[in-house]
Structure formats: structure tokens, C-alpha cells
Amino acid sequence: METSNFVADVDATFAIVFWASVILFVGIVVAMVYFMFRYHHTRHQDAEDIDGHLGLELTWTIVPTILVLAFFYFGMIGYEKMERVPDGAMAVETTGRMWSWAFKYENGIETDTLYVPVGMPVHLKMKSEDVIHSFYIPSFRIKKDVVPGIKTGMWFTAEQAGVYDVFCAEYCGDKHSYMLTKVKAVAREQFDRWYRETGAQFAALAPKEKTAGQVDVAQLVERGKMLYRTKGCLACHSVDGSPLVGPTFKGLMGKKEVVIANGQEREITVDEAYLKKSIMQPDAEKVKGFENLIMTQVPLTEAELNAVVEYIKSLK
């Protein structure tokens, strides 16, 4: 059993190219060595003038042409299959950004890991928030560029339960190698349960109508935590104090930091206003030592911003 529906075709195409190359390589080397001995000057002192050889010329024209057309044919039918998304495929919005992947399901679930049911076609609708990335699942033999301003997509059916690596296959900045995640392919019933239960959790976390000015802080923190993972904050900011690309979120609230604003250093105490400003206008006041790093402005709604800030506040 293969891991995905494309494995057999892609591997067959690769095998054809590989074995054709092996046969040609061996044939050419053998001919070369044979000529070295056969036409060595001790055995063959005078060069002959050969006008041409119709049979040979036809052979080295027709055989490579057939080979190239065969490569094209197998590549083409494989490509055609990959481009034609079957009806009823489960759509998953896939977002690439510096430097993480995010997935959004039709019922509102957002994750940083791709969960898929075995035996059901999945359609990844892909977009980029910044530069070109490339979504690559080697085990499934599929890869596609994720390009800002263009909607790309690809599909697959996982055929074997398991956990598979996802890479970014397009160099997209200095933390390109951080763009790792997993595809978890699980049995259909298990997936359906996850989809239902997690979907319900997400529905519960969605911002509710405020009842008489009441804000459920615990719920906001939970939502912030989820956004921290799905909006890609985790790629650069740790929550356990360990240094990553950006300052850690642990103990950030209330901390004294030296920031650089308009080229001037200034000491501040991190408060809610600073957090909000730094998330929405990353270049305004950067913590000293991190001033040369580029942070992408992550699109957040007002409610999402509040949730993230509440989450950072909770990391003491």
C-alpha cells in the first residue's frame, strides 16, 4: 500500500528516467572503452574518411526522440491527474508565511498540523502572506509553490495512516528551515471525531457577544494560545523563555525593555498598549538587539489582537 494516490505514478516516471539513464550511461562507457582499444594507434595507424552512415544517423535521431516523447507522456499523464481535483474533495485553506504553515478547515478549525482522513481526497487551497514558499510532502510525492497574490492548490488522497513530514521547498528567508510541520493521516472515523470535537471547541472559542460588559479572560487566553500557534507567532517567539529569533513572550508583560524608536533608544515598561502596537506595527518600536529583524505584520482582527495580548499577559 502506498502512502498516497500519487506515489505509484511519480515513482514509475522516476524509475523510467533513472533506468533509461543507467542503460545509456553504461552503453556509452562500454562503447568508449571498446573504441579506445579497437582504434588504438598501434592497431589503426591511418584515420579513414567516413562520409556518413544513414542507419546510424536515423538511430540516434529516432531513439532519443522516442525516449523524450515517452518521458513527456508519463510526466504529462501524471501532471494531468495532479491538476484535476476530484469532486467532493475536502477543502483545507493552507497558508504559508515567514516561517510557518497554517491550515483552516471548513468548520473553522485552525491548526498548525494538517489532519487528513485516509482514503478521502483533500484539496489544499494555498496562499502566501508574504513571499514565495513551496508546500512539499515528500512521502506523498507532491509539491506546489505558494505564491503571494496567486491562488494555487493541489490535492491528494492519503492511503496509509501515519505521520509524514511537510517541508518548505523554496528558500524564503533566514528561517526557511523552520517551516516544518506534519501531515497526520488517520482513519476516517477517527478523523470525523476529531473534526467534530475540535470544531465544537473552536466554535466555543469564537468571540461571543459580550453579555453586560463581561469578558471571559480564560476563554480569551485559550483563543490567544490557539492564534499564537495558527498565526505563526511560534516560529520566532518562545513561550518558555528560550531565545528564538524574536524576544520570548514569557514574562514579557511588565518587563523593562530598551526599544529603538526612530533611531533613538528609550526604556519602556511593556504594557498592553506596547504589545498591541508591536503586533500591528512591528517596525515602530523594536526591542534593542532585535531591531534588524523583519517581522511580518500578521493580519488580526480587533478581537484576535485582544486574545493574543491576553495570552502574552498570562505567560508569567
According to the binding rule CB under 6 A, does residue 144 interact with ligand CUA? no
Q: How far is the CB of 257 from ligand CUA (least distance, A)?
A: 29
Stretch 153-172: interaction string toward ligand CUA, x if CB under 6 A: ---------------x-xxx
According to the binding rule CB under 6 A, does residue 143 interact with ligand CUA? no
**138 and 6 in contact (C-beta within 8 Å)?**
no
**Residue with grid cell 536515423, as numbered in its chain:** 58
**313 and 253 in contact (C-beta within 8 Å)?**
yes
Of positions 3, 5, 117, 133, contacts ligand CUA by CB under 6 A: 133
- In angstroms, the CA 225 to CA 231 distance is 10
Residue 253 grid coordinates: 508583560
Reduced to 3 states, what is the DSSP secondary structure of residue 235? helix
Q: How far is the CB of 5 from ligand CUA (least distance, A)?
A: 26
The residues near 17 (Cβ < 8 Å, ≥ 6 apart) are 71
According to the binding rule CB under 6 A, does residue 137 interact with ligand CUA? no
Q: How many residues lie near ligand CUA (CB under 6 A)?
A: 8
Q: For residues 97 and 237, which CB has a smaller minimum distance to ligand CUA in the complex?
A: 97
Q: How far is the CB of 126 from ligand CUA (least distance, A)?
A: 12
Q: For residues 82 and 172, which CB has a smaller minimum distance to ligand CUA in the complex?
A: 172
- In angstroms, the CA 245 to CA 81 distance is 41
CB atoms within 10 A of CB 70: 14
Q: How far is the CB of 85 from ligand CUA (least distance, A)?
A: 23
Q: How far is the CB of 147 from ligand CUA (least distance, A)?
A: 11
H helix and E strand count, the chain: 6, 13
According to the binding rule CB under 6 A, does residue 231 interact with ligand CUA? no
Q: Indicate the helix (H) or strand (E) that contains 190.
A: helix 188-205
Q: How far is the CB of 12 from ligand CUA (least distance, A)?
A: 29
Residues of this chain that interact with ligand CUA (CB under 6 A) are 96, 133, 168, 170-172, 176, 179
